Amino acid sequence: MPPARSPSPGWPSPAGTSPPDPPDRPAGSAAAPGRSGLLRNRVFTGGVASEGTPVGRRIVLAMLALGAAGVAVGARAERALERVIDPVRRNDPTGLSDLLPVGNFRYYSVTSSVPRLGPADYQLRVHGLVDRPRTLTLADLGAMRQTALVRDFQCVTGWRVGNVHWSGVLLSDLLAEVGVRPTARALTFRSFDGSYTESLTLDQATRPDVLVALRMIDGPVTHDHGGPVRLYVAPMYGYKSIKWLGEIEAVDHVTPGYWEERGYDVDGWIGRSNGRDDDPV
């Protein structure tokens, strides 16, 4: 509330009951209370009549109102749109529907390019506080017990892809293979893209829904999805499921990963972190 000031000379004021209008209020709009002033064809500014109606301003205000409404109900609208678009996308041979900013995987990489590795040159190094450090090839991983999961992939930025088929080596199987020492408390994962890192506590890493994934959506994990080998941490947001997995180190304390250094929660439980309430997968 601005400090009360005496009405300017030309201003009739109702016997001091309410504070006077701000003095910069033009006479024209003061005479027409509320919205009706806007509907007139001539609007007075500073006592001088200027040509035309301020439609431009109304367009701007209407867009602001629409934008605010969109923020309020957009979550519901997006869900409805996804329901419409998902079937279309599944039967779309052109791939054009992937341009719609709704649903489906989005490609996130933090580096300019990622080497393409295959059966010949891919290696997964498992080391740190373990009894039998190993460097595994794709064939080594493929020879281990394979576990399959059908679970959603939920990104912390909001998108979610339903019922993705995953399969690969349970991380706990892999850890048993190398023999994690009792002093180890956590794992640090490093991507062979050279930048990305992630972390899990040992308790999280040994859950039965954490996979070193070799296959995804009916085929080997493709390069764009983080292949040939990526992590899939089902109960956590996508940034925990490190792509292009190149190295696992057993360590004595959690070192926050790439996005966690940049503000995301270290314990990225879906629906219970990062200020989100998504349904668990």
Partner 1 sequence: MTPSDPPPPAAGPSPASGGSGLATVRRFGRSTRLVHWTTAAAMGCCLATGAVLLLPPLAELVGRRRLVELIHLYAGLALPVPMLVAAATTGYRRDVRALNRFTAADGAWLRARLRLGAWQRARARAAVAGGVGKFNAGQKVYAAFVAGAILVMLGTGVLLQWGPDLPGGFPVAWRTGATFVHDLLAYGLFFGVAGHLWMASRDPIARVGIRTGTVPAWWAAREHPAWTVSADGPPIPDDPGGPADPGSQDDSGDRAVRSGHPLPPRG
Q: Which is nearer to partner 1, 105 or 269 (CB)?
A: 105
Complex with partner 1: residue 11 or 108, whichever CB lies closer: 108
Cα–Cα distance, 91 to 95 (Å, whole number): 9
- What is the phi-psi region of residue 244: left when phi exceeds 0, alpha when psi lies from -120 to 50, beta otherwise? left
Tell me the CA distances in angstroms from 139 to 15, 126, 143, one per residue in order. 91, 15, 6
Q: Measure the CA–CA gap between 119 and 59, rounded to whole angstroms.
A: 58
Q: How far is the CB of 63 from partner 1 (least distance, A)?
A: 3
CB closer to partner 1, 18 vs 112: 112
In angstroms, give the least distance from the CB of 60 to partner 1.
4
Residues that bind partner 1 (CB under 8 A): 41, 50-57, 59-64, 66-68, 70-78, 98-99, 101, 104-114, 157-158, 224, 262-263, 274-278
DSSP secondary structure letter of residue 222: P
**Hey, which residues does 150 pair with through a beta bridge?**
165
CB of residue 45 to partner 1, shortest distance in Å: 9
- Least distance in Å: CB of 258 to partner 1? 8
Q: Distance between CA atoms of 225 and 243, rounded to whole angstroms?
A: 7
* Residue 128 vs 235, nearer CB to partner 1: 235
Nearer CB in complex with partner 1: 106/253: 106
Asked if 129 and 252 touch (Cβ cutoff 8 Å), the reply is yes
Residues 6+ apart with CB under 8 A from 69: none
Quote the least distance from Cβ 110 to partner 1, whole Å: 5
